[in-house]
Amino acid sequence: VIKCKAAVAWEAGKPLSLEEVEVAPPKAHEVRIKIVATAVCHTDAYTLSGADPEGCFPVILGHEGAGIVESVGEGVTKVKPGDTVIPLYIPQCGECKFCKNPKTNLCQKIRITQGKGVMPDGTSRFTCKGKQIYHFMGTSTFSEYTVVADISVAKIDAAAPLDKVCLLGCGISTGYGAAVNTAKVERGSTCAVFGLGGVGLAVVMGCKIAGASRIIGIDFNKDKYAKAKEFGATECISPRDFTKPIQEVLAEMTDGGVDYSFECIGNVGVMRAALEACHKGWGVSVIVGVAAAGQEIATRPFQLVTGRTWKGTAFGGWKSVDSVPKLVTEYMSKKIKVDEFVTHTLPFDKINEAFELMHTGK
């Protein structure tokens, strides 16, 4: 058993608490990882808020991390101690019908237990003050050591800087893949990206790499426009600067609508606007943001009858074990940006400050 520091969420709506936790050794087909770097994501904050119906407490949150394999359980063959890895919240077992289908990346092998906050055998590897602590998204990267299923880990280039590539565990991969895998943005096309946070910027980057000729960023926060333009946005607008609905503004700006639109906020009203901003006949809108539980989307069916397509994406459609190492290689060869997404680097004990910075859009 390893004793180490972890940020424990004892209950919903309270700040994370830095505690000494015990991390049990990995069982069969499990991997124990020394986490070197982790990022914070709105998904962690959503569960911490108490609004997530799948949220279990007490829990160790975190799902954008990178580290070094410390030990492996029986039967683990893909990684060994000392390997550099990224934990994966969407695993890839290679055996289930989802993994065998090229149309999806949603491996279902451990979905039930992962959602319940436990390892595939139904138990936890974390204890603190005599209490069992739940796992989160199969990763729990807010701990100096974590245990994950062997299908939830990608071995990456040992030379990669872990404080940067940890972001490929969720946000950057999600946005980039939404553009290149889910939408399949084409050269010369016009795109609109709603929400210019980390995921939105990754969508902008993906649209640019795919050769889009016009990329319109939409956000209330004008402080984000300069960064969006660095990533490839050709122009940025705020819905607050117009009296008419943003979808009408975009239709006028683009002679009938955009070819591709992306919702990167998790707001069902914006999801509708993003669909309706698409061009009749061929426009495709991708939902990337995660809306709160129980919310529903609406539009007039005529929007779809007249040739628009509504799609969704999880982790950018990447089959995780196969793709994350390739994404790291793309970063190392400067095809995709990663360093530019990092705004602040904080010590682990300032994790609550990291959440505050995220909530204020900084």
Cβ within 8 Å of residue 193, ≥6 positions away: 200, 203, 204, 207, 215, 216, 217, 218, 228, 233, 261, 262, 264
Q: pLDDT-derived band of residue 25, with 50, 70 and 90 as boundaries?
A: very high
* pLDDT (0 to 100) of residue 233: 98
In the chain the domains, ranked by start, together with CATH numbers, are 2-169+319-353 (3.90.180.10), 174-314 (3.40.50.720)
* pLDDT (0 to 100) of residue 215: 98
* pLDDT (0 to 100) of residue 181: 98
Mean pLDDT of 341-353: 96
Distances (CA, A) of 34 to 37, 60, 139, 142, 290: 9, 15, 12, 11, 29
In the predicted model, what is the mean pLDDT of the chain? 97
214, pLDDT greater than 90: yes
Q: pLDDT-derived band of residue 122, with 50, 70 and 90 as boundaries?
A: very high
- Chain segment 244-291, per-residue pLDDT in tens: 999 999 999 999 999 999 999 999 999 999 999 999 999 999 999 999
Say which amino acid occupies 343. T
- For the chain, give the percent of residues with pLDDT over 70: 100
Mean pLDDT of 113-122: 97
Mean pLDDT of 84-98: 98
361, pLDDT greater than 90: no
Residue with tokens 């237990």: 113
The gap from C-alpha 260 to its chain's centroid, in whole angstroms, comes to 20
293, pLDDT greater than 90: no
Q: Characterize 174-211 residue by residue with b for buried, 16 or more Cβ atoms within 10 angstroms of its Cβ, and e for exposed.
A: bbbbbbbbbbebeeebbbbbbbbbbbbbbbbbbbbbbe
- Chain segment 29-47, per-residue pLDDT in tens: 999 999 999 999 999 999 9
In this prediction the pTM is 0.96
Mean pLDDT of 189-202: 97
* pLDDT (0 to 100) of residue 362: 87
Q: What share of the chain is helix, strand, coil (3-state, %, to 5)?
A: 35, 25, 45
170, pLDDT greater than 90: yes
Q: What is the DSSP letter of 356?
A: H
The gap from C-alpha 181 to its chain's centroid, in whole angstroms, comes to 15
* pLDDT (0 to 100) of residue 52: 87
- For the chain, give the percent of residues with pLDDT over 90: 97
98, pLDDT greater than 90: yes
* pLDDT (0 to 100) of residue 53: 86
Mean pLDDT of 132-150: 98
* pLDDT (0 to 100) of residue 54: 84
* pLDDT (0 to 100) of residue 236: 98
242, pLDDT greater than 90: yes
Cross-strand bridge partners of residue 163: none
